[in-house]
Structure 1
Amino acid sequence: MAGWDRAAAGAFAARLLAPGTAVVQYAITDSGVERRCRVDNTDTTERLGAEHDCVSCTLRADLALLTDAFDRLVVHLDPVLEPGPIARERRVDAVVTVVDVDTWLAAATGDDLLPDDERTVAQVVVGQVEAADALVLTGAPDARTTAVLDRLAAAVPRVPLAEAGPALLRAVRRGDEVDEVDEVFGPLLRGQPPLRPECGVGLTVFRERRPFDQDRLVDALDVLLDGVVRARGRVWVAGRPDEVLLLESAGGGVCVGPGGTWLAASDDWDAVSAERRARAALDWDPVWGDRVQELVILSHAADPEALTAAFTAALVQEEIAL
């Protein structure tokens, strides 16, 4: 269970107590990770030793122990944690994110940094929604927030906090295919989101074969810092034809990092999934192979034409030798 509003997430977690179930709440403090475990009407609090100075490692190690001790765990994460990495490590029935409808969109489009952390608040709250199998809403969202959630978490059920309880978990089950999705080469759109704009909210899909000029790409990234909720994609730049770069943005935070190797530059196709091999073969270009620029941009106050123009201008304008 995740959510920026600790109190709202805690209220929902408390409703899930049942015989054989432990509600485990993790809090990140200045001195490390604190775990509060509630079973029946008994609470115990323990400060956990850090595993390799890594919060995620600490939680994974602790959950491995608790999984053997209880029939079922309800894990309430600290607000700054995203559930995705932990859900991929353990067998999880469902990931539920509690959304404060009055503040979520502002947080998801802001540029506030987390204390002592390289991430922005936007990256966390957007990641929490993207990882969810169900959303619990603190109230009725406005039309723009609804439009954003429709596209960021398409087909994910939403339940008001006042009505949320154990029945939600019985109705929602996390499929194995969710955890098997390739983070780099998997689909950039989850589910089947609406493609028509609504309340100024829309999806822009940018796809091109030519490489980006590296300096112009850096300049183009500025267009993602204002009016954009989320951008994800795979890109490549001139002079580095082997490298897949993963581009991600949320609110006022943008990052570009290594994503592996294009199959056109690899001799070992057997090392990748059959799905990736099939997609590459179907979309193979005689010049560029499987190299392609693919970006999906979810905006709430940006001009889609300006987004497309910025990235088009960053492309190498003439054919270059690989």
Structure 2
Amino acid sequence: MDIRSEPPRVPLVVVAGLHDEHVAAVAEAAAASDPLGTAVVHHDLREVTGGVVRRHLRHGDSERLTVLELAHGCVSCTLREDFLPLLRGLAAAPDVRRIVVRLDPSLEPEAICWAIEHVVVDSAPVARDVEVAAVLAAVDLPSWLADASGDEPLHERGLAGSPDDERTVAQVGVGQVEFADAVVLAGATDRWQALRTEAVVHRLTPSAPLAGLDRLDLPALLDRVPAHARRGEVDGAHGPLLRGQPPLEEEAGASVLLFEERRPFHPERLHDALDVLLDGVVRTRGRAWVASQPETALWLESAGGGLRVGHAGPWLVSQPPERWAEVDPERQVKASLNWDAYYGDRMQELVVIAHEADPREVREALLGALLTDAELALGEAAWREFPDPFGEWHEDPCAEDEPEQAPASRERGGNQ
């Protein structure tokens, strides 16, 4: 029998961060241990909305700048038309033993890793040829916490990935750190600012080791990445809300609130209560069920002053048993362990990471949005008739002439 093993995949290190100079320094450190065998890739997206991307590629002593002119100036076109095919070509080169991807400040590593795993290039995803060895995030100590808790749109900083990119700096900065396997701290600041930032970072990505850029020993840092680190793995809406065990005690003002309740939210009271998540809170992530939509799990996610609510698919209790086979086994096990005779798998599961907000006030606001005993006794038929601000897409604050009804998700800005 002819048994042929697949060739080993080329390890890939992804470096992300809001400050390009820090990202560049960490990428250089990642290449330093094997400069001749490492290819460093960087797509400069500062002019992507005008259809121009500058691709920098260095391998050994060779360095090339290629100016790409795209028919449609956006990040997804850059990924599909150049970045992913380039990774495949580099992985096939016999003298490339490692690839370092230096991400543009506007990019979130989760989206890049998802594309590597799922987007088909020449009949197969690029993950057939490369494997994510680590995702690194570079954090600017003087400014990251303010960025992560603010509501500045990317386009105001010149970082928008397309003309219709409505993301905020906080969404990108928080996403970069949250997805990281290790974090590099850079920039000079006072000790209190450093302690506050480190405390928040440790709660966003509890298992990730930290190191300073000024004395960075990157191989030693990567050796400290635990075996269970995600390394590019993208979770679904019903995956773990936090990988690793975050400290639950308050530290330098940073705190973690785990909000778990069985009864549903009243849609209008939840809508009103969401403002508590947009002031003094760095991150909220989780699943919620609203009484007016008893079959549907909602995904709630905030970063700084911006919030998104979207559909996370149906609750298992609303599905016939034969459909359970289509669900991820881990979700089946979790649902079985937490099954309630009345609620099934429906419950509120939110993780709130605050740096200034009082977690007790956040909890009280969310508790106040749950159905009362009298409302609960009305039953599902009555719940469906509750006015529902979450029925359609819209942005908040709602304009006076804008209907609140519109399909499964919404974005909300703070302090506007």
Specify the TM-score bucket, using the shorter chain as the normaliser.
over 0.9
Deviates more, 1:91-100 or 1:156-165: 156-165
Instruction: Note if contact 2:281-2:303 (Cα within 8 Å) is conserved in structure 1.
Output: yes
Match of 1:106 among 122, 146, 156: 146
TM-score when normalising by structure 2: 0.73
Rounded Cα–Cα distance in structure 2 between residues aligned with 1:57 and 1:65? 12
Instruction: Note if contact 1:95-1:174 (Cα within 8 Å) is conserved in structure 2.
Output: no
- Residue identity matched to 2:136: V
Rounded Cα–Cα distance in structure 1 between residues aligned with 2:259 and 2:342? 19
Match of 1:94, SS? strand
> Corresponding residue for 1:212?
265
- Residue identity matched to 1:138: A
Work out whether 1:31 is the aligned partner of 2:50: yes
Structure 1 pair 241/52, CA: closer, same or farther in 2 (3 Å)? farther
Deviation (angstroms), 1:167: 1.5
5+ residue gaps, structure 2:
1-14, 117-130, 156-162, 381-416
Aligned residues: 322
Match of 1:80 among 78, 94, 106: 106
Rounded Cα–Cα distance in structure 2 between residues aligned with 1:188 and 1:52? 35
Match of 2:101, SS? strand
Deviation (angstroms), 1:47: 2.9
Deviation (angstroms), 1:286: 1.1
Match of 2:207 among 131, 142, 155: 155
Structure 1 pair 173/50, CA: closer, same or farther in 2 (3 Å)? farther
Deviation (angstroms), 1:13: 1.6
Rounded Cα–Cα distance in structure 2 between residues aligned with 1:120 and 1:2? 16
Kindly name which structure, 1 or 2, has the bigger radius of gyration based on alpha carbons. 2
Rounded Cα–Cα distance in structure 2 between residues aligned with 1:88 and 1:66? 16
Rounded Cα–Cα distance in structure 2 between residues aligned with 1:300 and 1:106? 10
Work out whether 1:14 is the aligned partner of 2:28: yes
Q: Deviations over 1:95-153 (max 9, x none)?
A: 11111111110110111011152111011000000111111111576221121112111
> Corresponding residue for 1:132?
180
Match of 2:310 among 242, 249, 257: 257
TM-score when normalising by structure 1: 0.93
Work out whether 1:182 is the aligned partner of 2:182: no
Match of 1:136, SS? strand
Instruction: Note if contact 1:49-1:58 (Cα within 8 Å) is conserved in structure 2.
Output: no
Deviation (angstroms), 1:42: 3.0
Match of 1:142 among 176, 186, 194: 194
Deviation (angstroms), 1:41: 3.2
Deviation (angstroms), 1:87: 1.7
Instruction: Note if contact 1:60-1:86 (Cα within 8 Å) is conserved in structure 2.
Output: no
Structure 1 pair 177/77, CA: closer, same or farther in 2 (3 Å)? closer
Rounded Cα–Cα distance in structure 2 between residues aligned with 1:108 and 1:191? 21
Percent identity, aligned pairs only, is 48
Match of 1:92, SS? strand
Structure 1 pair 160/51, CA: closer, same or farther in 2 (3 Å)? farther
- Residue identity matched to 1:27: D
Deviation (angstroms), 1:164: 2.5
Structure 1 pair 169/222, CA: closer, same or farther in 2 (3 Å)? same
5+ residue gaps, structure 1:
none
Structure 1 pair 93/169, CA: closer, same or farther in 2 (3 Å)? farther
Match of 2:166 among 111, 118, 135: 118
Instruction: Note if contact 1:244-1:258 (Cα within 8 Å) is conserved in structure 2.
Output: yes
Match of 1:242 among 268, 273, 295: 295
Q: Counterparts in 2 of 1:61-76, with a 5 A limit? A: 61-67=81-87, 68-69=89-90, 70=93, 71=96, 72-76=98-102
Instruction: Note if contact 2:133-2:231 (Cα within 8 Å) is conserved in structure 1.
Output: no
Instruction: Note if contact 2:140-2:185 (Cα within 8 Å) is conserved in structure 1.
Output: yes
Instruction: Note if contact 2:132-2:231 (Cα within 8 Å) is conserved in structure 1.
Output: no
> Corresponding residue for 1:285?
340
Match of 1:296 among 338, 343, 351: 351
Match of 1:63, SS? helix
> Corresponding residue for 1:276?
331
Rounded Cα–Cα distance in structure 2 between residues aligned with 1:83 and 1:180? 10
Q: Deviations over 1:9-66 (max 9, x none)?
A: 1122223151132111112114233211122233222233548654135225433322
Rounded Cα–Cα distance in structure 1 between residues aligned with 2:227 and 2:70? 29
Deviation (angstroms), 1:277: 0.5
Q: Please, what is the CA RMSD of the aligned residues?
A: 2.1
